[in-house]
């Protein structure tokens, strides 16, 4: 009987977790809110087998509001599935830049690699050509200074050091290799994503990185291949041209003794023969990537420090943000001085593409939506205060439990109507591993008839009290076990 009771409650908890998974996958925000209000610990539920959590499903489908809800409920933002992928990896793989933005603001780890091929979120974004996701991933490494483009260009031409900022961390992240030595530039060049290749080159990706034979990866192009070898295999002429313009070697041979031209012939890319045959007579002019965004680092720092969402409506006497007309202004653009709310500034930097006209400003600056002045960085307004870190709702909820159905010792809880006296064990859903932990007894409380079980500090219907010995003697046992009735 005890076993059946435990299994029944376990199935109930599993059913609630599956409902949350369905809501996260389908984008049902109201259903997800209702389930998490009942028990925020459902956010830590993982499906059996693939170990995908609701956070994985919502990130893969691009439901950024549900992603925020789950993170606020206490889910581990870097939780892995059976492939070792995090929610950030899946969002980058499918190109959901809004989800990537939310995860980065909550300080997701971009250095995690999966179990299959050692690829990071940057590799997955480059593989599918999601340039917006790439610039959000690298927002903490590209400084908000006007001379950033010139510094990066000089660094790519020679290996000298610069005093403006340290490029070592950026170079390490962007040239990190997966299994077999494949970098993000290799993946973008192979699949012909020109904008991604240009952005990676602008940020310091090396054209001389070569693959290796690690014995675990099937490399049909050959070990020792450069990104130009991969571009020749992919057959994109524009990618080959920009790699050659950035210094790629036309005569470089891989471990099989093949040059990029031979790779093109091997894969029947005959249209690339003229491009890969000889070095161009004159060096083409290099233009910055339209996805290079300088003010992203400055607004990221402000958002992480002071928050980016203010759901409270403003009084009519205050001037709202001119873009959304809902939130108060918290940041101002350096130069023109126009004020915006933090979320609108984040959205502007994330969606901006420099093909639009900028009246004045260095490459990578964002056009102000009001005066078209080039914005290089943002600054906090004097009234902007640091945000208070909210308490995770998961710490205020009841745990998953299995009711034993057995009669236990009289508890110290007194109700004006009735009281369930239940002995229970708690199951921790961390990392989808179920471990039984004994649950301590609840403290003595008085129940409000309309109240519900919860935390005494957060629920006004729970009031700590002391037990009178005379009052305890008036308690009688009901013939039905595990229940106490007070007359």
pTM of the model: 0.75
Kindly state the tokens that stand for 224.
Answer: 């020792």
Give the tokens for residue 114. Answer: 């999966």
Match 């099989």 to its residue by tokens.
256
Instruction: Give the Cα separation of 380 and 368 in Å (integer).
Output: 17
- Could you tell me the two tokens for 141? 């490494």
Instruction: Give dist(CA 452, CA 455) in Å, integer.
Output: 10
Shortest CA distance to 100 belongs to which of 62, 126, 70?
Answer: 62
> Closest by alpha carbon to 126, among 103, 149, 110?
110
pLDDT tens for the 487 residues of the chain, in order: 443 333 333 344 577 888 999 999 999 999 999 999 988 888 888 877 677 899 999 999 999 999 999 999 989 999 999 999 999 999 999 999 999 999 999 999 999 999 989 999 999 999 999 999 999 999 999 988 877 777 777 655 444 444 456 678 899 999 999 998 999 999 999 999 999 999 999 999 999 999 998 776 667 898 999 999 999 999 999 999 999 999 999 999 999 999 999 999 999 999 999 999 887 766 666 788 889 888 999 999 999 988 877 544 455 547 788 888 888 899 999 988 999 999 999 999 998 887 655 557 788 889 898 888 889 999 999 877 776 655 555 544 444 443 433 444 444 433 333 444 434 444 334 333 333 333 444 344 443 444 344 444 444 433 444 444 554 444 444 444 444 434 3
Nearest to 396 by CA among 12, 33, 20, 41: 41
Give the single-character DSSP code of 325.
S
Beta bridge partners of 484: 419, 477
The domains of the chain, with CATH numbers, are 12-109 (1.25.40.20), 141-153+165-291 (1.25.40.20), 294-380 (3.30.40.10)
């Amino acid at each position: 009987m005890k076993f059946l009771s435990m299994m029944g409650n376990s199935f109930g908890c599993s059913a609630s977790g599956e409902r949350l998974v369905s809501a996260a996958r389908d984008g049902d925000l109201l259903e997800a809110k209702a389930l998490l209000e009942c028990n925020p610990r459902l956010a830590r539920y993982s499906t059996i087998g693939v170990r995908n959590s609701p956070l994985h499903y919502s990130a893969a489908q691009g439901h950024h509001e549900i992603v925020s809800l789950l993170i606020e409920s206490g889910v581990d933002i870097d939780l892995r599935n059976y492939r070792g992928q995090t929610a950030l990896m899946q969002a980058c793989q499918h190109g959901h830049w809004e989800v990537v933005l939310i995860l980065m603001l909550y300080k997701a780890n971009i250095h995690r690699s999966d179990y299959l091929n050692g690829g990071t979120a940057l590799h997955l974004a480059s593989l599918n050509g999601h340039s917006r996701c790439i610039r959000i991933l690298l927002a903490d490494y590209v400084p908000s200074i006007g001379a950033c483009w010139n510094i990066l260009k000089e660094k790519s031409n020679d290996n000298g050091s610069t005093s403006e900022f340290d490029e070592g961390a950026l170079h390490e992240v962007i040239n990190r290799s997966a299994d077999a030595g494949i970098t993000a530039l290799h993946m973008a060049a192979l699949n012909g994503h020109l904008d991604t290749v240009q952005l990676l080159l602008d940020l310091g990706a090396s054209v001389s990185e070569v693959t290796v034979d690690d014995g675990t990866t099937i490399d049909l192009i050959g070990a020792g291949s450069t990104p130009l070898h991969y571009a020749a295999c992919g057959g994109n002429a524009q990618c080959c041209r920009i790699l050659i313009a950035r210094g790629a070697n036309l005569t470089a041979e891989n471990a099989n003794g093949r040059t990029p031209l031979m790779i093109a012939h091997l894969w029947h890319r005959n249209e690339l023969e003229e491009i890969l045959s000889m070095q161009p007579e004159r060096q083409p002019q290099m233009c910055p990537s339209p996805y290079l965004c300088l003010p992203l680092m400055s607004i990221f720092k402000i958002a992480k420090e002071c928050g980016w969402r203010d759901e409270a409506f403003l009084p009519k006497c205050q001037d709202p943000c001119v873009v959304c007309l809902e939130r108060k202004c918290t940041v101002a653009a350096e130069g023109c001085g126009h004020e915006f709310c933090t979320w609108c500034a984040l959205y502007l930097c994330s969606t901006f593409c420099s093909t639009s006209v900028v009246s004045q400003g260095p490459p990578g600056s964002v056009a102000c939506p009001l005066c078209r002045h080039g914005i290089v960085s943002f600054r906090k307004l004097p009234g902007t205060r640091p945000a208070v870190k909210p308490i995770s709702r998961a710490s205020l909820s009841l745990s998953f439990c299995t009711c034993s159905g057995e009669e236990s010792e009289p508890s110290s809880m007194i109700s004006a109507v009735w009281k369930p006296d239940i002995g229970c064990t708690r199951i921790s859903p961390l990392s989808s591993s179920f471990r039984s932990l004994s649950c301590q007894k609840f403290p003595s409380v008085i129940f409000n008839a309309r109240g519900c079980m919860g935390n005494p500090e957060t629920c006004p219907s729970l009031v700590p009290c002391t037990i009178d010995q005379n009052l305890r003697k008036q308690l009688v046992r009901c013939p039905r076990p595990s229940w106490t009735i007070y007359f």
